[in-house]
Amino acid sequence: MPRHRRRTLAALLTVGALVTATVASSPATADPPTRTADTFVEREGTTLTLQGEPFRFAGTNLYWLGLDENVGGVDHPTYFRIDDALKTARVMNATVVRSHTLGTSLGCVPCIQPEPGEFNEDAFAPIDYAIARARAYGLRLIVPLTDQWDYYHGGHPTMAKWLGLQDPEDFYADPRAKAAYKEYSRQVLNHRNPYTGLRYKDDPTIMSWELGNELNGMTRDWVDEMGAYLGKLAPRQLISAGRQQGVDTAALASPEVDIVDVHYYPSSALTMAADAARVTGRGKVYIAGEHGSDSLTAADALTLADDPNVTGVLSWSLFGHADDHGYVQHDDGFTLHYPGDTAAMRTDVLANAALAKMIGGERRLPALPVTPPLITSITKRSGINEIAWRGTAGAHTYRVQRSVRGPHGPWSTLTTTPVGDIDTPWLDATTPRTQASYRVSALDRAGRTLATSAPLGAGPGQDVEVDTLQSWARMSAHSDSLRREPDGDGIRIAPRPRATAHAAWKVVRPEAFTARFATRAGSALPTVQVTRDGTTWKQVKPVRSTASGTTTLRIEPPRGTESVRLVWAATPRPAPLSGITLVREAASVATAAPGAFRQNPGDGATGVPVGDPLTWTASENAAHYEVVLSTNADLSDPVIDVTGLRTTSYRPPVNLRPNTTYHLRVTAVNGAGSRSADGAPTSFTTGALTVDDFEEYPDGAALSAAYARNPGGGPVTLSLDSQHADGEGHALRAAHDPGAPGYAGIVRTLPTAQDWGGARNLRLWARPDGTEDRSLTVQFVAAGIYWEKEVPLTGTDSTTIDIPLADFTNPPWATKGPLDLTHITQLSFYFNGQAGTTWIDSITATD
């Protein structure tokens, strides 16, 4: 083991070292290109360099940056989503991002090439922006130019279909297909980015053009020809190529290819290392262009970072915040959100961030500007406010504050426990019956404030909604002459100079409509019109105010208004729209307290499983529920006291204590009052926690797979036995011979960690076969620390053994530590003494 690995492991385990991207409060457009941004990544044999220094990296795939499938159809991603995802990649220490749709976009209306011979300049808008933002944040890009698969963004099957080829693999031999690929590539590489002034082929941000994604049918002739063509078009950018699985022999052999890209599902450091050695042995640069994000371990990260043959590793795949609230969801099983929706995802995020930090080393990168949270709606739920906000890249949690005296405070903090993006929309369980303003602060890992949203308020009978203008989705109609352009953290919409235009919004029970404009001297504001029938429009006079370069037009639409629209006259300097806020009469109000309902477990219930959720029937017109659970009849000193629950069940974060009587009260709440469940509080008594009863194994093979033999001990043969059990079902039968080692052991890694936190004893049924001088050692792993207790086994009678958990001790060879029973991950049995047979059944954690 290299001497430096111990230091690297310490860095990996230090949380603060994993996420090190700096943040700044400057606007996203303020960072000028640096010297590094103007420098190309170069190849030197089997390695890459940047400004003469070795360039190794880890990062991620953001396949959708140019064309998105996660927007209820196929369309261009919003500028916010592009910016937020790139920032999130940087927060995870990425220095390279791979994106299919920055280069592959064929066969759809919003595509670069919708039809044969037709190219759509509007399709380049999100690509231009993504490349410019990547450049500003110090990220490099790998861009595939076609795809093996006929996904929503098209690929070589699209071109094959256009050309009438019977077999899509003819794409690699047909002269027309080769010409079509070259022409498409030429159009992409020669496009000039209005943000940077550079053609794509001249931009150092694009580190590599990939011949295509997972091209399984590439021939050596095709790779040579297309690699040479792209190399001539873009001589300072690198050429990469690879297939779906394994090292592609054509890419490996071609002198036109700089980087060989290999993909891994699941991620495997050992396979990567072997492939990397093969690739570098042939004089090429090796990268893992995709690997399953859910299977990279901390040990893998160390192995890959220490392997000089591995130049780059890119996870599949990262998604950022949604435009309204929460995250963009994707269901391929490999989605990453930062900092993670679940404990498993948080582990994956940390492992991938740590790999990027270790493999990339220290590198000067531009500071990341922070986009503050944006409250997008305040909506009544039976009279209780739900607040939704658009998240901030790099935020771990959020603080929600409320003021009842207006948007300038004073502010009181409502969030006493951490609130994350997966908790939005967030319910204000203590909603006042007055006007309430809210603001949301994004907090980093240490709880420090990154940025705070602008305030947004709603009255006791009002809903409020904000149109961020990132897409046309919230508009009911708009003119084709309107253009949408990014502006810092927001969007500006305006018609082309000297063109007329309109934009309309449907409104239901409207109370106020406010439009904000970025104005300067000579800007011409639109007029405001309303309609009650969708046909006849009437101009209304808004209340106008101007401050700090923003002009606001506000109207209170007449009752019965169906739609509101803005109408720009033809003018050389139309004022651009920057935001819309709509206030309407609340849709979900409460005029009476919630209706009657029942809670479960019922009063007097016994043997209640300690891990079961608490449930209740729905209460009519309830906004949320409160749950109080205590071992005291008066509900004092509760073990559970939660509020704001919007479903009719609640699973406690830890198991209840076995064989214990609890008292439960569930209360339904809305804006008019509250009601407790019928008969509450009720009482119930828990049973034991079943660790294993051996009823879930279909046969002995499944049992042996679950309880693996410790290879250091003697042989153990396992089977299911229905004749020797605790009265019903099956027991585990172990025929064992401790032999020379003096023990024979079986080890079960629990499929899901168990919580024994409320237990005092570990109980099991056992039956020895009468062999003398025998004992059984019971061992478990709690929070990563081993604990064990030896008990005698004598006679031939079955017996129930109760082992106090307080009697377990650390083995002499194990790490010492406190007994934490809330996270049990492994259970083992060791048979000591003479050879024989032992039966075990009904293992429970109990009082």
Cis ω before 266 (30° cut-off from 0): yes
pLDDT of residue 98: 98
What is the average pLDDT across 180-191?
98
> What is the domain extent for residue 554?
467-585
State the pLDDT confidence band at 19, using cuts at 50, 70 and 90: low
Q: Which of 654, 610, 662, 651 is nearest to 846 (CA)?
A: 610
Contact residues for 501 (Cβ-Cβ < 8 A; gap 6+): 478, 479, 481, 482, 494, 495, 567, 568, 574
Answer yes or no: do 298 and 152 share one domain: yes
What's the number of CA atoms in the CB half-sphere (13 Å) around residue 796? 4
pLDDT of residue 15: 38
- The answer to whether residue 126 sits within a structural domain is yes
Q: Is the pLDDT score of 22 beyond 60?
A: no
Q: Is the pLDDT score of 4 beyond 80?
A: no
State the pLDDT confidence band at 521, using cuts at 50, 70 and 90: confident
Answer yes or no: do 492 and 388 share one domain: no
Q: Token pair for residue 244?
A: 């779906």
Answer yes or no: do 173 and 67 share one domain: yes
Answer yes or no: do 153 and 63 share one domain: yes
Question: Exposed, middle or buried: residue 764 (CB in 10 Å: 0-12, 13-18, 19+)?
Answer: buried
- The answer to whether residue 520 sits within a structural domain is yes
Report which of residues 393 and 23 the model is more confident about.
393
- The answer to whether residue 60 sits within a structural domain is yes
Answer yes or no: do 173 and 258 share one domain: yes
- The answer to whether residue 418 sits within a structural domain is yes
Q: Is the pLDDT score of 20 beyond 50?
A: no
Tally of domains within the chain: 5
**Tell me: the pLDDT tens digits for 742-777?**
999 999 999 888 888 888 999 999 999 998 889 999
Answer yes or no: do 544 and 628 share one domain: no
Angle at 290 between CA 218 and CA 216, to 5 degrees: 15
Contact residues for 637 (Cβ-Cβ < 8 A; gap 6+): 630, 631
Answer yes or no: do 224 and 329 share one domain: yes
Phi, psi of 680 (to 5 degrees): -70, 145
User: What is the rounded CA–CA span in Å between residue 348 and residue 317?
Assistant: 11
**Tell me: the pLDDT tens digits for 552-602?**
999 999 999 999 999 999 999 999 999 999 999 999 999 999 999 999 999
Are 378 and 446 a contacting pair, CB within 8 Å?
no
- Number of other CB atoms surrounding residue 364 within 10 Å: 8
What is the average pLDDT across 341-354?
94
- The answer to whether residue 390 sits within a structural domain is yes
**Tell me: the pLDDT tens digits for 222-272?**
999 999 999 999 999 999 999 999 999 999 999 999 999 999 999 999 999
CA dihedral 165, 166, 168, 172 (to 10 degrees): -60
Contact residues for 528 (Cβ-Cβ < 8 A; gap 6+): 513, 515, 539, 540, 541, 542, 553, 555, 564, 565, 566, 567
User: What is the rounded CA–CA span in Å between residue 574 and residue 518?
Assistant: 10
In three-state form (DSSP H/G/I as H, E/B as E, the rest C), the secondary structure along 649-692 is EECCCCCCCCCCEEEEEEEEEECCEEEECCCCCEEEEECCEEEE
Q: Three-state SS for 141? A: strand
Q: Three-state SS for 275? A: helix
Q: Is the pLDDT score of 653 beyond 90?
A: no
Put the strands of the sheet holding 649-650 in their side by side order: 599-600, 614-616, 649-650
> CATH number of the domain that 570 lies in?
2.60.120.260
Q: Is the pLDDT score of 9 beyond 70?
A: no
Question: Exposed, middle or buried: residue 804 (CB in 10 Å: 0-12, 13-18, 19+)?
Answer: exposed
User: What is the rounded CA–CA span in Å between residue 539 and residue 560?
Assistant: 15
- The answer to whether residue 592 sits within a structural domain is no
Contact residues for 711 (Cβ-Cβ < 8 A; gap 6+): none
Q: Is the pLDDT score of 635 beyond 70?
A: yes
- The answer to whether residue 591 sits within a structural domain is no
What is the average pLDDT across 125-133?
98
Distances (CA, A) of 772 to 768, 792, 836: 10, 10, 10
pLDDT of residue 752: 86
**Tell me: the pLDDT tens digits for 415-459?**
998 999 999 999 999 999 999 999 999 999 999 999 999 999 999
Answer yes or no: do 219 and 124 share one domain: yes
Are 663 and 641 a contacting pair, CB within 8 Å?
no
Q: For the packed helices 343-360 and 298-306, what is the interaxial angle rounded to 10 degrees?
A: 10
State the pLDDT confidence band at 655, using cuts at 50, 70 and 90: confident
CA dihedral 14, 15, 18, 22 (to 10 degrees): -120
Answer yes or no: do 719 and 765 share one domain: yes
Q: For the packed helices 79-91 and 124-136, what is the interaxial angle rounded to 10 degrees?
A: 30
User: What is the rounded CA–CA span in Å between residue 184 and residue 67?
Assistant: 17
pLDDT of residue 654: 76
Q: Which among 360, 381, 410 is the end of a domain?
A: 360
State the pLDDT confidence band at 658, using cuts at 50, 70 and 90: confident
Q: Token pair for residue 494?
A: 């305006």
Report which of residues 688 and 125 the model is more confident about.
125
Question: Distance of alpha carbon 34 from its chain centroid, rounded?
Answer: 31
Q: Which among 585, 615, 636 is the end of a domain?
A: 585
Are 453 and 398 a contacting pair, CB within 8 Å?
no
Answer yes or no: do 618 and 572 share one domain: no
Q: For the packed helices 175-189 and 220-233, what is the interaxial angle rounded to 10 degrees?
A: 30
How many contiguous H segments (helices) and E segments (strands) does the chain have? Answer: 12, 53
pLDDT of residue 35: 65
Q: Which of 63, 78, 68, 69 is nearest to 473 (CA)?
A: 78
> CATH number of the domain that 212 lies in?
3.20.20.80
* 846 bridge partner residues: 761
Contact residues for 412 (Cβ-Cβ < 8 A; gap 6+): 401, 402, 403
Q: Which among 585, 609, 634 is the end of a domain?
A: 585
Compute the mean pLDDT over every residue in the chain, rounded to the nearest whole number.
93
Q: Is the pLDDT score of 142 beyond 90?
A: yes
Answer yes or no: do 86 and 221 share one domain: yes
User: Does the global pTM surpass 0.95?
Assistant: no
Q: Is the pLDDT score of 23 beyond 70?
A: no
Question: Exposed, middle or buried: residue 790 (CB in 10 Å: 0-12, 13-18, 19+)?
Answer: middle
User: What is the rounded CA–CA span in Å between residue 95 and residue 84?
Assistant: 15
Contact residues for 667 (Cβ-Cβ < 8 A; gap 6+): 625, 626, 627, 628, 674, 675, 676, 677, 680
pLDDT of residue 29: 39
> CATH number of the domain that 662 lies in?
2.60.40.10
- The answer to whether residue 590 sits within a structural domain is no
Answer yes or no: do 92 and 236 share one domain: yes
**Tell me: the pLDDT tens digits for 83-98?**
999 999 999 999 999 9
**Tell me: the pLDDT tens digits for 659-685?**
889 999 999 999 999 999 999 999 999
Distances (CA, A) of 219 to 9, 227, 248, 253, 455: 42, 12, 10, 11, 59
Q: Tokens 């400004």 correspond to what residue? A: 51
**What secondary structure does DSSP assign to 688-707, as a single string?**
-EEEE-S-S-SSHHHHHHHS
